[in-house]
Amino acid sequence: MSRSVQHPATGTAMTDPVRYPSGASSPVRTKRAFVLLLMTLLVPGSAQIVAGDRKLGRTALRVTLGVWALLVVAVLLLVFNRTLLISIITNPYASLVIIVVLVALALWWAFLFINTLRLIRPVLLAPGARPAVVISLVLALVLSSGTLGYAAYLLNVGRNAIGNIFSAGPSIDPVEGRYNFLMMGGDAGDDRTGRRPDSLSVLSVDAKTGQTAIISVPRNLQNAQFSEGSPMREIYPDGYDCGDECLINAINTEVTNEHADLYPGVADPGAQATLEAVSGTLGLTVQAYVLVDMEGFAKLIDAMGGIRIKAGGWVPMSGYFDEVTRTHGMPLGWIPAGEQTLDGDQALWYGRSREYVDDYARIQRQQCVQQAMLKQLDPATLLSKFEDIASAGTKVVDSNISSSQLGSFLDLAIKAKGQEAKRLTIGPPDFDASFSTVPDFDVIHTRVDQLLASASGPQAAAPQDGVMDDRVTGDGIVQASAAGGHPQASGPLRPVAGLRAGVPGQQTPAPSPDFTPVTTTPDGEPITEELLTELKLAGNEEAIRELVATNGQCAPM
């Protein structure tokens, strides 16, 4: 007759296989081992309560319930106050606390697994079951403590990147319901003194809806107006009007080298002065800037795994420039028309090349590259390549945006992602090519006001078919064109499709995502790198211009 033996202190039957596996069968011991591991993975502390030190188990369970409560709060914030959640994660002090907590939880969870292994008592397991239990334990450790540790590592990488890129200055407030950011593509080559921004675009974002307008300013704009209160107005009260050398992209270098004393305490006087020039020129308050170093730009594209675009025409990766003949040498290569995946170097050339076409075709390609980056920087790409992207970003991006506002701005970026941006270029296709030489600032201010009005409020939408859209010539004459079409010719103005770009009196066609890439000559012969090379060797650059005239057309894939 069998008799149940009880533990003298607890009164628990010592035949209980959960607490006392010695008397259990081999299959029961194996099942018990896997169940205890699963309990520790799903509800840390529960294995200790049922099979080990109950005091330790209760402490661990309290921690588990506390973490679950915080996760519920995080989910509620994600649904009802996403801005606050992002602000907490991006705040340098709050993120440091989160990192410390994550590391502590990872170590605590690992300790519980080790304690669970002691409860399992592997020596009691059948020899064939031991490897499976050990492997399961390792996998559970990786899934639990490993995940928390890696999350802490990524959060620390992001925290360091934010500290290196963004400032610790005061927050900025929206102006007339919008945030206006100046995006500059800077180039600090070996042959230059200081960084010269060759790409200038203002992103104007509705502070509530995220609706975005992009205003591109050509680098060769003359007589740029400085905003009220700018120290540079003392030197150039009538605008940056010192002749052909006073292009808007020269302000950065001039201020950095000659007038930095006008901006005491400013980290980048040249960038700040350029911001003030763009503000005065467009007639709106630009509150902050983001400067992308073009030499490091390729690293960021490579970190993302490249970008996908549809190119309207062939783009040369230009070689050296012959100062004597004032012509470019043989291109280092070509980016073909059609659907392409560009690596970092190719994307850099694609955004910088202006041989055979004008600056405005280049502006359109730069906008396309920016759109492709935003479109393809989805959560999966960001998570899988986060370390490389963050590392590249610290070498590429500089900004005076306060890190304290990243939460609200990232939230706006999420809102803006699904909306089509309104666009205006202070040059073709919206203005005549000569307009940047003698700009009419009243006209510019009017067009900017119209653009922002169309990109504000719940009624903002793209023009319907048949609605007329105004285009402005270099004389300030308004021309009408059907929405979605090219500017209609008036007098000497003609659409430039298939013609030489950059000639006064001609306009570059407005880009449209449904364009057909030009991949053949007018005779139907396929355009190839060999054909373009032959034309270059023969000195027939006019024929090359005809073949690549549509390379400003571009759409992100």
CA atoms within 13 A on the CB side of 125: 19
* Contact predicate 500/356, CB 8 Å: no
Q: Pairing mode, if any, of strands 196-206 and 178-187?
A: antiparallel
Same domain, 227 and 288: yes
Is there a domain that residue 242 lies in?
A: yes
Token pair in block for residue 243: 């002749």
Residue type, 302: D
Give the C-alpha distances (Å, rounded to integers) separating 180 from 58, 208, 252, 283, 362: 53, 13, 19, 12, 23
- Residue 29, classed as helix, strand or coil, is helix
Same domain, 289 and 345: yes
* Contact predicate 304/267, CB 8 Å: no
Mean pLDDT over 209-225 rounds to 89
Same domain, 396 and 450: yes
Among the residues of 332-405, which ranges form H helices?
344-352, 359-376, 379-384, 386-396
To 10 degrees, the CA torsion angle through 125, 131, 135, 140? 0
Cα gap 381→389, rounded to integer Å: 9
Asked whether residue 318 carries a pLDDT value surpassing 70, the answer given is: yes
Residue type, 437: T
Q: Bridge-partner residues for 205, per DSSP?
A: 179, 212
Lowest-pLDDT range of 91-95, 111-115, 176-180, 499-503: 499-503
Mean pLDDT over 243-259 rounds to 87
Q: Which residues contact 224 (CB under 8 A, 6 or more apart)?
A: 239, 240, 246, 248, 251, 277, 278, 280, 281
Same domain, 159 and 223: no
Q: What is the pLDDT of residues 364-410, one digit of tens each?
A: 888 788 778 777 766 566 666 666 766 666 666 677 777 777 777 77
* Contact predicate 194/257, CB 8 Å: yes
Is there a domain that residue 3 lies in?
A: no
Parent domain of 207:
178-556
pLDDT band at 355 (very low <50, low <70, confident <90, very high): confident
Highest mean pLDDT among 5-9, 225-229, 451-455: 225-229
Same domain, 150 and 254: no
Is there a domain that residue 366 lies in?
A: yes
Is there a domain that residue 13 lies in?
A: no
Query: Of 165, 187, 219, which one is at a domain's C-terminal end?
Result: 165
Same domain, 326 and 188: yes
What backbone torsions phi and psi does residue 144 show, to the nearest 5 degrees?
Answer: -95, -80
H-helix or E-strand spanning residue 202: strand 196-206
Could you tell me what percent of the chain has a pLDDT over 70? 78
Same domain, 389 and 271: yes
Query: Of 116, 136, 165, which one is at a domain's C-terminal end?
Result: 165
Asked whether residue 4 carries a pLDDT value surpassing 70, the answer given is: no
Lowest-pLDDT range of 27-31, 72-76, 106-110, 170-174: 170-174
Same domain, 236 and 380: yes
CA atoms within 13 A on the CB side of 292: 22
Q: Which residues contact 160 (CB under 8 A, 6 or more apart)?
A: 390, 394
Q: What is the reported pTM? A: 0.65
To 10 degrees, the CA torsion angle through 537, 542, 546, 551? 70
pLDDT band at 302 (very low <50, low <70, confident <90, very high): confident
Query: Of 130, 165, 200, which one is at a domain's C-terminal end?
Result: 165
* Contact predicate 107/427, CB 8 Å: no
Give the C-alpha distances (Å, rounded to integers) separating 399 from 170, 185, 275, 406: 13, 12, 12, 12
* Contact predicate 501/549, CB 8 Å: yes
Q: What is the pLDDT of residues 19-36, one digit of tens each?
A: 878 888 889 999 999 999
Is there a domain that residue 11 lies in?
A: no
The alpha carbon of residue 507 and the mean position of all alpha carbons in its chain are separated, in whole angstroms, by 31
Query: Residue 466: what pLDDT?
Result: 34
Asked whether residue 118 carries a pLDDT value surpassing 80, the answer given is: yes
Distance between the two ends of the chain, CA-based, in angstroms?
79
